[in-house]
Chains A and B, each alone.
Chain A
Amino acid sequence: MSDPLGQVFSALADESRRHVLGYLAEHGTATATELTGELPMTRQAVAKHLATLSDAGLVEGERLGRETRYRLTEAGAEWDDRLDALRQHLARRR
């Protein structure tokens, strides 16, 4: 990523993308299909906006079956999992 700040601001410059963030802030998670039903946008537009938000690090998607569920990026969730794995690793060695 050459210009992380620029990416964040251009991602936020679009009103539709702010609506997507607003929906996720309020509901926690959503799939592209759910967002299409809730916001006045086509599914293609929703998918494109989610990709832009994801590239900027504002949202992250988790693939569940045939759909990807998006949420606002949560700082540190990755480390919670890693440290938990470390704790289990140490317990196994005892």
Chain B
Amino acid sequence: MIRKEIVLDAPREEVWEALTDPERLEDWFANDVELDLRPGGGASFRWANGEERHAVVREVEPGERLAFDWEDEEGEVEFTLADDADGTRLTVVETSAAWSTALDVQASFSFGFSVARV
């Protein structure tokens, strides 16, 4: 699981719009964005390098929570917004069966390796 937190110098509605308006998403997330903002709605993201990812919206709570599931692998992304003294606290949690396993194994391996080298 990956968890990232950032405090953004903007009101919550503004951050929500940046996360959910395809035109705004095209300014920071991907080059071409389609998003049907309702539970079960589809989302497509295309990047300049030819990469393309599809997702299905799972949860929409305006100004508070947005969750979607990646279609190409078992993974989900959850955005949570909260007021902060300096603007808006945005938390992103991404889980993926593929890398949580890979990273756990890798972490124990790296640790074992460095111990073995001492």
Contact = CB atoms under 8 A, between A and B. Distances in A.
Among B94, B97, B98: residue with most chain A CB under 10 A:
B98
**Size band of the B side of the interface?**
20 to 34
Q: Which of A12, A83, A90 has the most CB of B within 10 A?
A: A90
Contacts of B73: 1, 4
B94 A90 contact: no
B106 A21 contact: yes
Contacts of A57: 98-99, 102
Please classify how large the interface on chain A is, using the bins under 10, 10 to 19, 20 to 34, 35 or more: 20 to 34
B contacts with A: majority SS: helix
A5 B103 CA distance: 11
Interface in A35-94: 56-58, 72-73, 75-76, 79-80, 82-83, 85-94
A73 B99 contact: yes
A30 interface: no
B114 A26 contact: yes
B90 interface: yes
Contacts, number: 90
B94 A79 contact: yes
A58 B106 contact: yes
A92 to B, nearest CB: 8
Contacts of B6: 83, 86-87
B10 A75 contact: no
Contact of B102 (A4, A22, A83, A90): A4
Nearest to A85: B28
A26 B102 CA distance: 18
Given A8-B101, A26-B113, 5 more contacts: A1-B98, A72-B110, A76-B3, A79-B94, A86-B6
